[in-house]
Structure formats: structure tokens, C-alpha cells
Structure 1
Amino acid sequence: MTVRAAWLLPTGQTREDTRLAPLGAMAPISELVSRDGVIAGGTPLAATGVGPMQLQIGTGRAVIQGTAPQGAYPVAVTSPETLTVADGDAQYGRVDTVVLRIRDGLYDTSEQTLATVEIIQGERSANPTAPPLPPACLALWDITVPAGTSAGVGGITWGSALADRRRYTAAYGGIIPRGWGLSFPGAYDGQYRDTGTGLERWSTSAAAWQPYPADSGWQSLALASGYGNPGHGTAAAWRRLGSLVMLRGRIGPTKAGATIPNGATLATLPTAIRPGGGAEFGWAAPRDQTSRGPSVTRAEITRAGALRIYEGSDLPTWVSLDGVAYTTD
């Protein structure tokens, strides 16, 4: 037996079944329902065409959720399973779905206690779509079966016919790996998932997945009256990534030909992006080129969030914030 499910058979579950099946508290969806999905590691339940109309599903493990009272079934495929795709319709194409499926006679009408890898055939159509799935099923792959397909005419072109439908799950508290589809809600504050390019954290109050570390994206810096970016390059902006704050852009007087006075406050930063520890943060800020050549001036952010500069003479017409970074910790 190469497809094994723990806690399915009324009798006969072996110690090997129990060791191979993924047991433990899985990522929740609600109070009694677990997120079903494939267990990551290697290339679980991979699909390989092994004949004109035959497909092989490799080894792997998964969790299949039934109804809430039914619970979740841990499943292990311990040897590759070979499936045969039915010939295509003479007129229309269809989409079939390869699934891991649980049949449990205590909760369905199958009168069986069985875990299988099988193909659920889609409806033939001019615009075919994947078939609806019965309960206690986990989609693995979609197969596009063009009209007239059969072994006698060359069979299925596996390289283009397969669409990966594997979604992944993890143990409670683990990061859910990226798989098919990201349009699912989280179950609790602090749940994490991998998007393929970074991490997201579920916020119950916002009812949304949010980038982690939290990323504000670039936001315009509200400047003091009389200051802006009149022809001085990139507009002043800030970005917060977790506790790291980055600044960029240039600031100068809006009045043509004016300079920035000594001690001038150019902006007051929002509380959320002020330097941490109650300390002032200072740096040498690049400024306009003068008769002395390229130079810098002292800039600082005060405890109250005032962004200001100090220049005793040769007052600048603009200063740059590019490359400034500090933390709010």
C-alpha cells in the first residue's frame, strides 16, 4: 500500500503508517479546521509524464481536511503512483484535476476507508475549466486535455499540459510556504506566509496580509512652509521597513534664489519615524555646490522630530537626504 492515511482505518493502522504520516497540530483555519495542503520538503507529489496518456505522481506527504466534525487526515504517498488520463473528446477539450482524496464511510456514501491519488475528470467544453472537487480532496495538478487527444495520435504534451495546483501547509506557528494561490485569509494575529519574494504577517484588525517587516513604501515628507523641491532633484520622502527608516530626496526654498538659513527647520517628522532612544540623530548632509566646490552641511533630527540644518556661512540653496538611514528602536 503506497498511499497511507493515519487515523482513517478503523483497525490496522501500523506503527510505520503513524511514523510516515505528518502528525501534529497544523496551521489552523478556524477553531476545529486545519489548513490542508502539501508538506514542503524536496519536490513533494511532483508530476511527470511517463507515457502518451500516463502521468506519475511522486512521493510526498500532505494533510487533507474533511468537514469540521470530521477533522484532518495526515497522508503519505510512499511510492510513485501512475495514473492514466482518459482520451480527449472528439470535439471539445477539458481540464482534469489530479487529487489526493480521502474516502471515509463514516462521513460519506463511499462505504470505504481509503486514501488515493486519482484523476477527477472535467467537463468537455469550448472553454473548459477545472472540475469542482468533492469533499476531503486536495488538488495537486490540472491537466489540459485537448480535443481528440489519445495515445494513438501522440498523447498529451506534458510540458504544456500541466498546471501546478499544489498549495502548502505547515505546523502551527510555522511559515506557510508559497504554493498555488495567495487569496486565502489568515487565522490569527501573527500568522506568517511566504509570498515567494518575502514574508507577510496576518493582521486580524486589518483583515489583511501585511508585508513583514512592515513596509510603508516611500511616502512624501511634509515640509515646512517655504520649502519644497523646486528643481533640486528627487522630492523628499521617507520609508519605514520594520524599525529601519530611510530618507531620500532634496529640500530647498521655494523662493527662487533663496538660501537655507542657519538652524532652519525644514520638516517635522511624524512620531512613528523619529529616531529611537530619545536621542538626536545627526549626519553630514550633501548640499549644493558652492564656490568652494562640493561640500556638506550638518543636519539633524531632534527629539521632537524637527529636521534642521546648521551652516554658519555660505548658506546652501538645497540639501540632500539621500542615503540617510536610522532606526526607531
Structure 2
Amino acid sequence: MNLRSSWVAETGQTREDTRLNQVGATTMINPVQVRSGILPGSYDGKWRLSGFWMDKASAMTATVSEGRAVIQGDISQGVYPVSLPASEQITFAAGDAQYGRIDLVVLKVYDNLYDGSTRNEAKIEIIQGVPGQAPKAPVAPPRSLPIYEVTVPAGASAGNGGIPWNTALKDLRTPVVALGGILPVEGPVLPGAHPGQYQDTANNQLQRWDGGKWVAYPEAVGGIVPSSASTLQGSYTGQYRDGTNGELQRYDGAAWRAAFPGPYYKDLTDAGYTTSSTYTSTLLDTLAGPVQVNFVAPSSKAVIVHYGARMRGSKDLYSYLALRLTQGTTVVQEPVDDYAVIVASDTSTTQSMNRRLSGLTPGLTYTLTLHYRIVANAVNAQSWYDNAFIRVDPQY
């Protein structure tokens, strides 16, 4: 077996063993223990983690590639450095006749001082799982580092195709680095050991442990976080990011929100009429409900509202289109003629107007609703409305 270790054998540790295992990898998990894991790196520099990579050698045999790792024992046992200077092949037992199973491949350290095994060495071992309808991987033994789970189907053997390697492997490898080093994340994201620890996530985002969680670290103060890291929490209030939908967003200290919300828009696509001489939000002869827009007041406290419709009424009678502004159940402003769109024609005419609403409370949600009426001085007077709309543009 090629797996080498140091500070395990009672006698016989060579200078070569010692040199191979001077890894210096101590990613802390508490004041006296470190995280078990594999040293990162690859031959061409393209991959975070290539040590102890495993792939098919034959139907029931896999090749474990070279690498270096550390395996933490119990709190009083210390950490065991191991290295594999040349690839190693391991062979799996044939599958159960009826059920599949999940085997666990580990780097295992035997230390007679603690396990009474009469062995002092490191091995790459297969911990065979129990076959079953819903098999589970076995538990890793003490002083071991799981590197892969391998699903062995029922009846798998060298004579009938063996293990389906493309789908059977589950990679469990995780990296470790020297104390103070930036940890490249592969596999599960584990908690930090101390505030100020850094890690580089799989989507290339630098993060800092703040004592309770990993927080995205800005590439530069004022820099815009790229959309590739848009699932991460903001680092400070006022930070900006490029949202996944291309929307610029701002971190408000608790959540990412649209930096420049709006415009808000609503229209009426089914014509209707009113005979009411007082303002009403509902029209007859249409299935469409009231035309309403909800909007959040910006920090400027002001918005520009554009509203209008294609309108016609009974001959020589005025048709009105106005807005009602509410905040929750509070009426801020009723519809009034002074700010109404007015048409006096029995021919369809498109009219609109702009209006600035100010004095709003930033952050509150307001509602604008279109209202309609006709000056009724004749029997059966009607005002018709089609393509009515409201557009709200926050001012910044």
C-alpha cells in the first residue's frame, strides 16, 4: 500500500515519510483541533482539488490518485498527516444478489496506542455498506477521512458490467489549508473557527467569517457584486449588486432590494362606461376591475404620474378621468376635477396628463386608482373609457 504517514509507527519512520508529510495544513475547528481534509491544488492549476480523486480502473476496481491530507483524531490524539505519492487501485466486492449497497472509501489511520489494533499505519480502505431497499452509507470509523461514497448495484460483478462508474460515485472530499490561508470551498460549506477567517466559494466569491456566519466580502468598497454571487448576503448597507434578472439592487442592511424600483404600470384593456355623476372606480359593461397601481414611495418623497384613456361621452357632456391616492386604508387624496383628464366629445378621443405627487413617506406603499364620472344633465348620459392606464415613475 502506497499511503504513507508520519508520527504513527513506533519504529521505522523514514526520513522520506517525514518529508512527504510535512503538510502544514491546519484549518482550525477549535483551539486544539483542525479540520480533516485534503490539500488543494492540481497539476495544471485549473482545479481546486485533485488529490485523492477517484475514477474507474475496471469493472469493479477504481484508481485513487495521489495526494496529501490531514486526519484529525480525538481531541487528545492530535492530527495525522498522510500522503499518497503514487496512485493506488482498490477493488470492490461483488454486489448483493437482491439489493444494492453503498460503500464508503476512506483514508484510515491505525494507531495501536488508541485502537488496540496492533497496527501503526495508514491505509486506503473500503468500508462495505449493508445491502437494502434504501441502503445507507456506513459510518466512518475513528481517525479516518471519507473521500467517496460508491453505490454498488445488486448483482454487480466483473462478469456483468460491474459498477456504473459515471453515476455511482459521490465525491466527499473537502480541502484544508494552512492556518490563516484562504480556504477554497469544495463540498459542504462548514462553519468558520474564528472571526476574520476567509474562504473562496465555489462561485468565486470571497467570504469572511463574522463569528456566526459567512459574509460576502466586497472586492472593493463601493464595488458592485456580480450576478454570479447574487445569492450571497450583503456586506454593508448601501452595497450594490447586479441581480440575476439584470436589475441593479441595493442592500438595506437586511435584504437586497431594487435600487431604483419602477416604473409601475397598469392598464384597462376592456372598454366600459359609467352613468355616474360622482366619481366611481368601476365601469359597466366590462369584466375588468378597478385600474390600480401599488408603488413604494422613494427617498425623494415624490413620483411622476402619467394617466389617461380613450374617452367619449354623450354629446356636449363632459367625461372625467381622475385619480384617488390611498396609503393602506387612509385616503390621502380623493379624485378632484382640478387634476382630471376631461373630454367633451361623442367621438373617441385619446387624452392624458402628467402630475407630480410629493410629500410621500419613503418606504411606504401607496395605491393609485382611476375614477370616472360624467356631467349628467340629460337622460341616459354615458361616458365610455378604453385603454385607460396609470404609470408611476419614482423621482430619484
Residue 152 and residue 238 in structure 1: after superposition, are their counterparts in 2 closer, same or farther (change >3 A)?
Answer: closer
> Aligned with 1:248: secondary structure?
coil
Deviates more, 1:45-54 or 1:20-29: 20-29
Give 1:181 shift. 1.3
Which residue of 341, 347, 356 maps to 1:259?
Answer: 356
Structure 2 distance, partners of 1:99, 1:76, is: 13
Residue 106 and residue 236 in structure 1: after superposition, are their counterparts in 2 closer, same or farther (change >3 A)?
Answer: closer
Deviates more, 1:141-150 or 1:184-193: 184-193
**Equivalent in the alignment of 1:193:** 199
Amino acid in structure 1 at the alignment position of 2:134:
N
Structure 2 distance, partners of 1:218, 1:186, is: 20
Amino acid in structure 2 at the alignment position of 1:253:
V
CA contact (8 A) 1:22 1:61 kept: no
**Equivalent in the alignment of 2:225:** none
**Equivalent in the alignment of 1:72:** 79
**Equivalent in the alignment of 1:46:** 53
Residue 12 and residue 240 in structure 1: after superposition, are their counterparts in 2 closer, same or farther (change >3 A)?
Answer: farther
Which residue of 244, 251, 258 maps to 1:239?
Answer: 251
Give 1:266 shift. 8.8
How many residue pairs get matched?
Answer: 252
- Unmatched 5+ residue regions in structure 2? 43-49, 219-231, 239-245, 263-297, 306-322, 324-353, 364-391
**Equivalent in the alignment of 1:36:** 36
> Aligned with 1:103: secondary structure?
strand
CA contact (8 A) 2:23 2:68 kept: no
Structure 2 distance, partners of 1:196, 1:235, is: 23
**Equivalent in the alignment of 1:177:** 184
Give 1:139 shift. 0.6
CA contact (8 A) 2:304 2:393 kept: no
Give 1:211 shift. 2.0
CA contact (8 A) 1:218 1:238 kept: no
Give 1:21 shift. 1.2
Give 1:195 shift. 2.3
Structure 1 distance, partners of 2:237, 2:181, is: 32
Residue 237 and residue 175 in structure 1: after superposition, are their counterparts in 2 closer, same or farther (change >3 A)?
Answer: closer
Which residue of 202, 209, 231 maps to 2:209?
Answer: 202
**Equivalent in the alignment of 1:314:** none
Give 1:175 shift. 1.7
> Aligned with 1:16: secondary structure?
helix
Structure 2 distance, partners of 1:248, 1:160, is: 46
Q: Which deviations, in whole Å up to 9, do the C-alpha atoms of 1:203-230 show, x marking residues without a partner?
A: 21xx22222238439999xxxxxxxxxx
**Equivalent in the alignment of 1:296:** none
Deviates more, 1:107-116 or 1:10-19: 10-19
Structure 1 distance, partners of 2:160, 2:235, is: 54
> Aligned with 1:169: secondary structure?
coil
> Aligned with 1:259: secondary structure?
strand
TM-score under structure 1 length normalisation:
0.68
Structure 2 distance, partners of 1:150, 1:118, is: 19
Residue 81 and residue 87 in structure 1: after superposition, are their counterparts in 2 closer, same or farther (change >3 A)?
Answer: same
CA contact (8 A) 1:219 1:237 kept: no
CA contact (8 A) 2:73 2:142 kept: yes
- Unmatched 5+ residue regions in structure 1? 221-233, 269-316, 322-329
